[in-house]
Chains A and B, each alone.
Chain A
Amino acid sequence: MMNLPLLSLVTWTPILGGVWILLAGGERSAPTARAIALVVSVVTFLLSIPLYAGFDTGTHEMQFVEFAPWIEVFNINYHLGIDGFSLPLVLLTSFTTVLVVLSGWEVIQYKTSQYMAAFLIQEGFMIGAFSSLDAILFYVFWEAQLIPMFLIIGIWGGPQRIYATIKFFLYTFLGSVFMLVALLYLYSQAGSFAILDMHHVRLGLTAQILIFVAFLLAFAVKVPMWPVHTWLPDAHVEAPTGGSVILAAIMLKLGGYGFVRFSLPITPDASSALDWFMIALSLVAIVYIGFVAIVQPDMKKLIAYSSVSHMGFVTLGFFIAFSILDSGDVDGAALGIQGGMVQMISHGFISGALFLCVGVMYDRLHSRQIADYGGVVNTMPVFASFMMLFALANSGLPGTSGFVGEFMVILSSFKASFWVAFLAAMTLILGAAYTLWMYKRVVYGEIANDGVRGLSDINRREFVVLASLAVMVLLFGLWPAPLLEVMGPTVDNLLEHISRSKL
C-alpha cells in the first residue's frame, strides 16, 4: 500500500478520467459521462484518504515524495510531496470535486460530458499544484487550471460570461507571468527548480523585495486581495454553480498556499519589511469589502464579496506573524499562521456550501437577485435549515468551522496591535449583517411571489451534497484539533525558518 505513488494517483486519476469522458462522450451519452465522472471523483477521494491516514504528524518533512527526472538539461523534475500545508488542501479538493459532480447532475444538460471532464481535469491540476515540489511543475499546474475554468465559465456561464472570462483570465495570467520571472531568477541563484532548495537561497533585501512583489502580483490576484479583487465577483456571477464552488473553495486557496510555500520562506526579510503593507491590504479587504457586501443585490456577488472579506483573514494571519515573532512569541505567531490556514479550509466548505445553496435556488427560479425571493422557508423548509447553518457559519459562529480561523487570527493580531485586532473583529458585526440580512430577505418572510410559491424542497441528491458539507462545517467547528495537528510541525518549521534572516 505504502509503495503506491499515491500523489501521482490522486493527481492523474481525475485527469485521465476526464480525458476518458471526452473520448467516450458525445452529446448523447450524458448519463455515461455523469456516471464515469462520479466514479472517478469518488475513487480520487478514496485514494486521497490514505494520504491522511498515513500522514506522519510528527514531522515537517515532505511526505509521500515522488521523484523522476523530467527535463534534465534544466534540472526540472517531476517532484511531488506534501506537508502540513498541502495535505488539507489536497483533501479539500478531492472532497469538493465529488460534490461538484453531484451538484451538476441533472442541472447541466448542455455538453454534459465536456462539463464533467473539465471539472475532473481541473481537479487533477489543482491537486498537482498543491503537491508539486518543483517550481516549473508547479507553474505548469498553476497555469493549466486556468484553461478548464476559462471554459467552464465561458461555455456554461451566464449572459455576461465573455467579459467575465476575459477579465478572469487576463487578471490571473498577468499576475502569474511575474511569478515565472521570479522563479527563473531563483533558479539562476539556486541552480535548481526544487522549491525546497529555493527556500535556502540567500538573497539581498532588494532582490527579496523584487521577488516578493513578483510573487505578490500572482498570489494577490488569486486570493484575491484588495484592490485586485474585482475579477472575482464578475467571475462568480457568470460561472455555473460548480464553477463558483471550485473557484471559491479551492482556486482562491492557491493564492494563500503560494504565500506560505513561496513568499514567506523564500523572502522572509522582504515579507517582514512589507508586513505592514500586507496587513493594511488585509484589513481593507475585511472592512471595506464587508461594507460592500452589505449592499449587493445579487446573492452570488454578495457571497463573492464575502469571500474576499474572509480571505482577508488568511493574509492577515500570515503576515501578522512577523511583528509577533519580533517580540519572541512563537506560539502567538503560530496562532496567526495556523488561523490563516484553518480559515482557508473552512472557507472552502462554507463558501462552497453557500454557492451550492444559491445554485439550488437558481436551478428552480433562474434568478440570483435577492429581490426575486422572499419566504423561501415556507416552501423549502429543509433547504432553509441548511442555509441557516451555512449562513451562521459564514458569520463566524462558534461551533462552526467559520469561527475557528477568525478566532485564531483575531487573538493573534491582538498580540501585534490592538487596532489591527479591532478592525479585524469588525467582521463579527459586518459578516453577520450582510449574511443574515440576505437570509432574512431571501428565506424569511411571507411568500413573496408565485415563483417562490411553486418551489419544491431539495431532493435527495441535493440533500446529500449539503448534508456532507454541514457535517464538515460542524466537525471542524467543534473539533479542529486534527486539522491543527496536521499543520502544527509544518507551521513551527516555517516560523523557525522565517525567523532567521537571509541577509
Chain B
Amino acid sequence: MEQSSTAVYLWIVLAPLVGAIVAGLFGRQIGRAGAHWVTIIGVSVSTLLSAIVFKQIVIDSGPVFDGAVYTWGRVGELELVIGFLIDRLSATMMLVVSFVSLMVHVYTIGYMHDDPGYQRFFSYISLFTFSMLMLVMSNNFLQLFFGWEAVGVVSYLLIGFWYTRESAIYANLKAFLVNRVGDFGFLLGVAAVLLYFNTLDYTEVFAAAPLLTGETMNVWFDAEWSVLTVICILLFVGAMGKSAQFPLHVWLPDSMEGPTPISALIHAATMVTAGIFMVARMSPLFEFSETARSVVLVIGAVTAFFMGLLGLVQNDIKRVIAYSTLSQLGYMTVGLGASAYAAAIFHLGTHAFFKALLFLAAGSVIIALHHEQDMRKMGGLRKYMPITWITCLVGSIALIGFPGFSGFYSKDAIIEAVHLSDIPGSGFAYLCVLTGVFITALYSFRLYFMVFHGKERMDEEARAHVHETPAVVTVPLILLAIPSVIIGWFYVGPMLFGDHFGESIFVLPENDVLAELGKSYHGVIGFTLHGFMAWPFLLAMAGVATAWFLYMARPEIPAQIAKRFSLAYEILVRKYGFDEFNEIFFAGGARGIGGLLWRIGDATLIDGIMVNGTARLIGWFSSVIRHVQSGYLFHYAFAMIIGLLVLIGVFVTFAGLS
C-alpha cells in the first residue's frame, strides 16, 4: 500500500515534469501539436490521479500519507528528505491546482495559437504545475522552499515570455526580486525552525510546537521575542512576497505583462495562493502566536482595502483584475489572521475558479480585439461574444459575493469570522473587509459594463472582426463557470463547519471563530437566505448600482469626479507612489551603494592607496636609494667607515651594559 501510493504521488508530480521536459527540449522535433498533447496528457494524468487521491483522502477519509521519496542529503543526525505529506489540505490543493492548470493548458491552444514560442510556453506552464504540486505536496520545509522558489522562477520566465518587450523584461525582473525579498524572510524562518526544532520535517515540528510556547529569543538589543512569533513572522514575510501582500504587492500588477493564460493560472489561481496555503499548513505554529496572527490580519486588511481602491482607476482590463486579485488575496490573509484557516482556503478555492474564469474571459476579449487591453476601446461586446459575456458575468457575480454564488460563501465566512475575532487589529480589519465589499462590486461591474455594455468604442477595423472565440477558449470558460457557481453549495458545510480538513488544519479552541459561527449554521439554504439580509449583500448591491449609474446611466460623471478630487485620483493612478519609491530608494539606492563601494572602496582605497600605493612607495624608495649606488669608490668607502663606526658603537654600548 505504502509503495503503491508513493508511486501514485510521484506520478502526479512527475507527469507534468516529463511533459515540460519533452516540450521544452524537443519542441522542434515534436512540433506544436506534439507539445500541447504531451503536456496536456501529463497534466491530465495529474488531474485524474489527484481526483482519485481526493476521493480516497477527503471523501472516504482515508489515512494520511507521510513518507519520504529519497534522501536529499544527510549531515550528522540531520536528514533532509524529499517526501510527500498527503492529507486533506494537500489533497484539496492538488485537485484545485491540477484542474485549473488543465483548463489553462487547453485554453492556451487557442490563446497562443499564433505565437512562435508555442512549445516553450507549454513547457513552462507544465513546469509550473510540477513546481506548484511539489510545493503543496511537500512534507518538509526544504521541499517547500524548493517549490516556493521554483514557482517564482517559472513565473519570472513567463512574465518575460515576450522577451523583446522592454516592459515585460522589466516586470519579470521586478517580480523576481520582490519575491526574493519575501524568500529572504522565508529562508530565515526555515533557519529558525531548524535551530529550535532541529528538524525540517512538518510532523515533527508541529508536534513540538506547543512545547516551545514559552521560549523566547533575543533579536534586537534586549527585547525578548517569543520564538514562535519570530518564526511565524519570518515565514509570513515569504507569504507576503508570494501572495503579493502589502508592501510586497508591487510585482503583481506588472506581472500582467505575461500572456493571459498565465495571469489566470499563476497570478490568480495558484502561485499567488501559495502563501495562503503555507500559512494554513503552518497553522500549528501560527496558532501559538497571537502577535504573528495580528500582523497577518492587519497586513491582509490593508491589502484587501487599499488594493481594491486601485482597481477603480485602471483602464487596462487585466490590471483591473490584477488589483482585484490583490484585494481578494488580502481577504484570504485576513481569514488566516482571524484563525479561520478553513475559510481562507475555501476562498482560495472558489477564487481560483472564478478569478481564473475572469482572466480567461478577459483573454477571450483580448484575442477577439486583436490584443487590445484598454477598456476605453471596448464596449457593447455582449452581442458579439455571448459565451464570454455570460461566463464573465457569472465570474463577476461570484466575485462580488452574491448569495448563492461560490464567492459569497467563502467571503462571507471570512467577514463573519473577522467580526467574531477579538485579537488586536480585528476591528480595523472588519471595517476594511466590509467596505472592501462595496469597492469590489464597484470595480467589478465597472469592468463588466465598460466591456460588455454601452457604446461600442472600438474602431471600425476591430469591430468588423469581432466574433466569439473558438471552442478551446470557450469550453474552459464554461468548465470554470460551473464550479464558480455551484462549488459553494457543496463545500460551505463541510469545509467551514464540518471536518473537510480534519486534522490537517489546527485551531486552538479559544481561537476557533468558525466553530462559533457554526453554532448558528443550519444548512446551506439558511446560510444563503441569511446572506440577503446582511450588510455585505447591501454593500455589494450598492456597488453594482453605483457602477451602473457611473458607467451606464451617466458616463460623463467619472471624469468629473476625477477632476474634482484630482489629488486623490492622482494618488490612486500612481498606486500610492510605491513604484516610484522602490525605483528611487531600493533600485537606485542599491546601484548608488554599489557604485560608491566600487569606486571609493575598491578602486580608490584598496587598489589606489594600498596596492598601487605600495608599488609607488617601493618605486619611490628605490629611486631614492638608487642615488647611493653612485659608482664612486669614495662614496662606498665612506659608507663602509660610517657603518663600521655605528656597529662598533652599538657593540660597545651593549657589551658595556651587560
A and B together in one complex: yes
CB within 8 Å of B: which residues of A?
167, 171, 227, 230-231, 288, 291-296, 330-331, 334-335, 338, 375, 377-378, 388, 392, 397-399, 403-404, 407-408, 410-411, 413-415, 418, 421-422, 425-426, 428-430, 432-433, 436-437, 440, 443-446, 478-481, 484-485, 488, 492
A295 touching B153, Cβ below 8 Å: no
A130 to chain B, nearest CB (A): 23
User: Considering only CB atoms, which chain B residue lies closest to A335 in the complex?
Assistant: B75
- Which interface residue of A295, A334, A403, A404 has the most chain B CB atoms within 10 A? A295
Q: A288 — which chain B residues lie within 8 A by C-beta?
A: 597, 601
Q: A293 — which chain B residues lie within 8 A by C-beta?
A: 594
B177 touching A432, Cβ below 8 Å: yes
Name 16 extra pairs, CB < 8 A, besides A227-B610, A397-B150. A230-B611, A295-B594, A331-B78, A334-B75, A335-B76, A398-B146, A399-B146, A415-B191, A428-B180, A428-B187, A436-B176, A440-B173, A446-B166, A481-B71, A485-B74, A488-B75
Q: B607 — which chain A residues lie within 8 A by C-beta?
A: 230
Q: A338 CA to B75 CA in the complex, in Å?
A: 8
Does B569 belong to the interface (CB within 8 Å)? no
B149 touching A397, Cβ below 8 Å: yes
A432 touching B176, Cβ below 8 Å: yes
B127 to chain A, nearest CB (A): 11
Q: A403 — which chain B residues lie within 8 A by C-beta?
A: 149
B166 touching A414, Cβ below 8 Å: no
Can you list 28 A-B pairs, Cβ within 8 angstroms, ordered by A? A167-B611, A291-B597, A294-B594, A331-B75, A331-B76, A331-B77, A331-B78, A375-B164, A392-B153, A397-B150, A397-B153, A398-B145, A398-B148, A398-B150, A404-B73, A407-B187, A414-B192, A414-B194, A418-B219, A425-B184, A428-B184, A429-B181, A430-B590, A432-B177, A433-B177, A436-B177, A440-B169, A446-B166
Q: A292 CA to B597 CA in the complex, in Å?
A: 6
A227-B606 contact in complex given A330-B76, A414-B191, A481-B73, C-beta closer than 8 Å: yes
B180 touching A411, Cβ below 8 Å: no
A15 to chain B, nearest CB (A): 33
A432 touching B180, Cβ below 8 Å: yes
A165 to chain B, nearest CB (A): 14
Q: A295 — which chain B residues lie within 8 A by C-beta?
A: 591, 594-595, 598
User: Considering only CB atoms, which chain A residue lies closest to B134 in the complex?
Assistant: A399
Q: A430 — which chain B residues lie within 8 A by C-beta?
A: 590
- Which interface residue of B148, B593, B597 has the most chain A CB atoms within 10 A? B597
Does B543 belong to the interface (CB within 8 Å)? no
Q: B112 — which chain A residues lie within 8 A by C-beta?
A: none
Q: Mark B377-393, 1 if CB is under 8 A from A, else 0.
A: 00000000000000000
Q: A413 CA to B190 CA in the complex, in Å?
A: 12
Does B70 belong to the interface (CB within 8 Å)? yes
A479 to chain B, nearest CB (A): 7
Q: B177 — which chain A residues lie within 8 A by C-beta?
A: 429, 432-433, 436
Q: B78 — which chain A residues lie within 8 A by C-beta?
A: 331, 335
Q: B170 — which chain A residues lie within 8 A by C-beta?
A: 440
Does B215 belong to the interface (CB within 8 Å)? no
Q: A461 CA to B343 CA in the complex, in Å?
A: 56
Does B583 belong to the interface (CB within 8 Å)? no
Q: Which 7 A-B pairs have the closest CB atoms?
A: A331-B76, A414-B191, A295-B594, A291-B594, A398-B146, A294-B594, A444-B169
A503 to chain B, nearest CB (A): 27
B128 to chain A, nearest CB (A): 14
A415-B610 contact in complex given A295-B598, A444-B160, C-beta closer than 8 Å: no
A279 to chain B, nearest CB (A): 16
A480 touching B191, Cβ below 8 Å: no
A294 touching B591, Cβ below 8 Å: yes
Q: B148 — which chain A residues lie within 8 A by C-beta?
A: 398
Q: B181 — which chain A residues lie within 8 A by C-beta?
A: 429
Q: How many residues of B contact A (CB 8 A)?
A: 53
Q: Contact partner of A414 among B74, B142, B188, CB < 8 A?
A: B188
Q: B163 — which chain A residues lie within 8 A by C-beta?
A: 377, 443-445
A479 touching B219, Cβ below 8 Å: no
Q: A479 — which chain B residues lie within 8 A by C-beta?
A: 70, 72
- Which interface residue of A171, A375, A410, A432 has the most chain B CB atoms within 10 A? A432
A428 touching B597, Cβ below 8 Å: no
A484-B74 contact in complex given A432-B176, A445-B166, C-beta closer than 8 Å: yes
Q: Contact partner of B76 among A399, A444, A492, CB < 8 A?
A: A492
Q: A330 — which chain B residues lie within 8 A by C-beta?
A: 76
Does B183 belong to the interface (CB within 8 Å)? yes
A326 to chain B, nearest CB (A): 15
A484 touching B606, Cβ below 8 Å: no
Does B195 belong to the interface (CB within 8 Å)? yes
Does B580 belong to the interface (CB within 8 Å)? no
User: Considering only CB atoms, which chain B residue lies closest to A228 in the complex?
Assistant: B606
A481-B74 contact in complex given A411-B191, A445-B164, C-beta closer than 8 Å: yes
B316 to chain A, nearest CB (A): 22
Does B422 belong to the interface (CB within 8 Å)? no
Q: A335 — which chain B residues lie within 8 A by C-beta?
A: 75-76, 78
A410 touching B597, Cβ below 8 Å: no
Does B602 belong to the interface (CB within 8 Å)? yes
B598 to chain A, nearest CB (A): 4
Q: Contact partner of B194 among A227, A411, A429, CB < 8 A?
A: A411
Q: Contact partner of A480 among B73, B184, B190, B194, CB < 8 A?
A: B73
Q: Mark B168-186, 1 if CB is under 8 A from A, else 0.
A: 0110010011001101100
B376 to chain A, nearest CB (A): 28
Q: A334 — which chain B residues lie within 8 A by C-beta?
A: 75-76
A484-B73 contact in complex given A295-B598, A432-B176, C-beta closer than 8 Å: yes
Q: B610 — which chain A residues lie within 8 A by C-beta?
A: 227
User: Considering only CB atoms, which chain B residue lies closest to A227 in the complex?
Assistant: B606
Q: A291 — which chain B residues lie within 8 A by C-beta?
A: 590, 593-594, 597
User: Considering only CB atoms, which chain A residue lies closest to B615 in the complex?
Assistant: A170
A436-B173 contact in complex given A292-B601, A479-B70, A481-B71, C-beta closer than 8 Å: yes
Q: A492 CA to B77 CA in the complex, in Å?
A: 12
User: Considering only CB atoms, which chain B residue lies closest to A415 in the complex?
Assistant: B195
User: Considering only CB atoms, which chain B residue lies closest to A398 in the complex?
Assistant: B146
A428-B606 contact in complex given A414-B192, A479-B72, A492-B76, C-beta closer than 8 Å: no
B150 touching A422, Cβ below 8 Å: no
Which residues of B (31-79) have their CB < 8 Å from a CB of A? 70-78
User: Considering only CB atoms, which chain B residue lies closest to A170 in the complex?
Assistant: B615
B188 touching A437, Cβ below 8 Å: no
User: Considering only CB atoms, which chain A residue lies closest to B589 in the complex?
Assistant: A291
Q: A338 CA to B78 CA in the complex, in Å?
A: 13
A64 to chain B, nearest CB (A): 24
Q: A231 — which chain B residues lie within 8 A by C-beta?
A: 611
Q: B188 — which chain A residues lie within 8 A by C-beta?
A: 410, 414, 418, 421-422, 425
- Which interface residue of A413, A418, A421 has the most chain B CB atoms within 10 A? A418
Q: A392 — which chain B residues lie within 8 A by C-beta?
A: 153
Which residues of B (62-115) have their CB < 8 Å from a CB of A? 70-78
Q: A377 — which chain B residues lie within 8 A by C-beta?
A: 163
Which residues of B (600-615) have their CB < 8 Å from a CB of A? 601-602, 606-607, 610-611
Q: Mark B403-437, 1 if CB is under 8 A from A, else 0.
A: 00000000000000000000000000000000000
Q: A413 CA to B194 CA in the complex, in Å?
A: 11
Q: A425 CA to B156 CA in the complex, in Å?
A: 21
Which residues of B (604-640) have their CB < 8 Å from a CB of A? 606-607, 610-611
- Which interface residue of B70, B219, B601 has the most chain A CB atoms within 10 A? B601
Q: A231 CA to B148 CA in the complex, in Å?
A: 38
Q: A429 CA to B149 CA in the complex, in Å?
A: 13
Q: A335 CA to B74 CA in the complex, in Å?
A: 9
Q: A473 CA to B602 CA in the complex, in Å?
A: 31
Q: A295 CA to B600 CA in the complex, in Å?
A: 13
User: Considering only CB atoms, which chain B residue lies closest to A481 in the complex?
Assistant: B73
B169 to chain A, nearest CB (A): 4
User: Considering only CB atoms, which chain A residue lies closest to B230 in the complex?
Assistant: A418
Q: A199 CA to B73 CA in the complex, in Å?
A: 29
A292-B146 contact in complex given A425-B187, A425-B188, A429-B180, C-beta closer than 8 Å: no
